[in-house]
Chain A
Amino acid sequence: MSTKPIDALALAPHAANPMLSRPYRVQKVRQETPDTFTLELEPEDKQPGMTFAPGQFNMIYAFGVGEVPISISGNPAQPNSLVHTTREVGTVTRAMRQLDVGDSLGVRGPFGVGWPVTESRGADVVIVAGGIGLAPLRPALYQLLAARKYYGKVVLLYGTRTPPDILFRRELQQWHSRFDLEVHVTVDRATGNWRGNVGVVTTLIPRAPFDPHSTVAMVCGPEVMMRFTVQELEKRGVALENIHLSMERNMKCAVGFCGHCQYGPTFICKDGPVFRYDRLQPLLAVREM
């Protein structure tokens, strides 16, 4: 059985009925990139919003269409605004994109084991994000920066497809201008007059300024990207038990009953989605697990 990092443990109330959605109202809609958007939500009933740990997710219900798991992408220190950033990829996310300010959707959560933010105190932290993977990592970065003095070097490595796909661009630029945070961005393919890095995100790892022997790595993105990222981190000497990945599988209930999210002996909804790499290593080696 997994031991949950203390900061990710049960911040969710043990709801008497975990399948019951709670109506939330849309406060803001923002198009982030051509296929990605953000919704900011508040509870319909004006009761306090949910407290959550970075890396946790909610089940978001679009009326009559369906429900999907979406990572929380906002600041844990601001529970009154619930922020979700998602790609528009299916019927539910498309329906979500059609919502206006004032419309409501259903929210259940927060669920899952999150990033080991508090556990990483005293170490360097390297965050490697690919594409939409930056969204579940942003809350971790907020929490790290809010307690900056407890950490050594903090490095953010972000890669995406093309310059228009860069997520949270303004925020990245703000972070980039800080003296206590190292931010490197790269794209797979340059378009327009991009003068930044071009190359897959793993190319940023060999020269990133962190001490591999005292580093915690948090990685999120497509599974292939995460596998190759681990290879590069391992090459630099980061211990496998200090690397954490966020995994994704089909989810229906998010509370360990429906069985859909099983990955080997783990339930991604309750044993994850964040896992220590050494636990995942034997599972990642088996196809169609």
Chain B
Amino acid sequence: MENLERIITEHPFFAGMTPEHLRLLAGCASNARFNAGQFVLREGEEANEFYLIRHGKVGLEVYTPNRGALTIQTLGEGEILGFSWLVSPHRWRFDARCIELTRAIALDGKCLREKSESDCRLGYELLKRFSHVMVEHLQSARLQLLNVYEAH
């Protein structure tokens, strides 16, 4: 557990959180490892965790029957996978599949949601950080949508 606590304490994503909250987070953390091609999350399933990617690469995919799986975004080392755990109805909206062997720290989102109900400070700190993640994704998606490289 000490190793996990150290990683979480030193991770930039959690910079600025209180030692007490960091200990709490470490208590909700575990190591995870996914082989290339393995699914981390599936569209429609309950979203109860999120991941800090330590090494590797994960693709967010949408499956279509005639064009196969389309990768809409990739996430790599240092990035955060999954924010639907924080937003109702707590269901994944996409598939996430490993492009390479990936090691990550999995955090129990369900537990953190519950704790945030009573510890609003914790909730706000998490929300501040995750809303940042969501805005970044949104901005990126909007730019992708503009199709700026189109010929006309």
Query: Does A146 lie at the interface of the complex (its beta carbon under 8 Å from any beta carbon of B)?
Result: no
Known contacts A285-B42, A285-B44: does B145 contact A224 (CB below 8 Å)?
Answer: no
Contact partner of B64 among A223, A234, A235, CB < 8 A? A223
Whole-angstrom CA separation of A223 from B43 in the bound complex = 13
Chain B residues near A235 (CB-CB < 8 A): 88-89
Contact partner of A231 among B42, B44, B62, B145, CB < 8 A? B44
Are A224 and B62 in contact, CB atoms less than 8 angstroms apart? yes
Are B64 and A228 in contact, CB atoms less than 8 angstroms apart? no
Contact residues of B between 38 and 81, Cβ < 8 Å to A: 42-44, 62-65, 69
Contact residues of B between 101 and 152, Cβ < 8 Å to A: 145-147
Interface centre among B65, B88, B145, B147 (most CB of A within 10 A): B65
Give the distance to chain A from B91, nearest Cβ to Cβ, in Å: 7
**What is the interface residue range for chain B against chain A?**
10 to 19
Chain B residues near A188 (CB-CB < 8 A): 145
Contact residues of A between 8 and 23, Cβ < 8 Å to B: none
Are B63 and A287 in contact, CB atoms less than 8 angstroms apart? yes
Are A189 and B145 in contact, CB atoms less than 8 angstroms apart? yes
Known contacts A189-B145, A228-B93: does B42 contact A223 (CB below 8 Å)?
Answer: no
Query: Does A222 lie at the interface of the complex (its beta carbon under 8 Å from any beta carbon of B)?
Result: yes
Contact residues of A between 192 and 234, Cβ < 8 Å to B: 222-224, 227-228, 231, 234
Known contacts A188-B145, A231-B93: does B44 contact A223 (CB below 8 Å)?
Answer: no
Whole-angstrom CA separation of A59 from B42 in the bound complex = 36
Whole-angstrom CA separation of A227 from B94 in the bound complex = 11
Give the distance to chain B from A199, nearest Cβ to Cβ, in Å: 10
Q: Nearest B residue to A200 by beta-carbon distance?
A: B145
Chain A residues near B91 (CB-CB < 8 A): 231
Whole-angstrom CA separation of A157 from B42 in the bound complex = 27
Are B89 and A227 in contact, CB atoms less than 8 angstroms apart? no
Q: Nearest A residue to B45 by beta-carbon distance?
A: A285
Chain A residues near B146 (CB-CB < 8 A): 189
Whole-angstrom CA separation of A235 from B63 in the bound complex = 21
Q: Nearest A residue to B69 by beta-carbon distance?
A: A287
Q: Nearest A residue to B70 by beta-carbon distance?
A: A224
Give the distance to chain B from A111, nearest Cβ to Cβ, in Å: 20
Are B89 and A223 in contact, CB atoms less than 8 angstroms apart? no
Contact residues of A between 248 and 289, Cβ < 8 Å to B: 249, 285, 287-289
Whole-angstrom CA separation of A235 from B88 in the bound complex = 9
Give the distance to chain A from B40, nearest Cβ to Cβ, in Å: 15
Chain B residues near A285 (CB-CB < 8 A): 42-44
Give the distance to chain B from A129, nearest Cβ to Cβ, in Å: 18
Chain B residues near A287 (CB-CB < 8 A): 63, 69
Task: Give B16-57 as 1s and 0s: 1 = Cβ < 8 Å from A's Cβ atoms.
Answer: 000000000000000000000000001110000000000000
**Residues of chain B at the chain A interface (Cβ within 8 Å):** 42-44, 62-65, 69, 88-89, 91, 93, 145-147
**Residues of chain A at the chain B interface (Cβ within 8 Å):** 188-189, 222-224, 227-228, 231, 234-235, 249, 285, 287-289
The 22 sampled A-B contact pairs (Cβ below 8 Å) are A188-B145, A189-B145, A189-B146, A189-B147, A222-B64, A223-B65, A224-B64, A227-B43, A227-B44, A228-B93, A231-B91, A231-B93, A234-B89, A235-B88, A235-B89, A249-B65, A285-B43, A285-B44, A287-B63, A287-B69, A288-B65, A289-B65
Name 6 extra pairs, CB < 8 A, besides A189-B147, A227-B43.
Answer: A224-B64, A228-B93, A231-B44, A231-B91, A231-B93, A235-B89
The 5 closest A-B CB pairs, nearest first, are: A287-B63, A224-B64, A235-B89, A223-B65, A224-B62
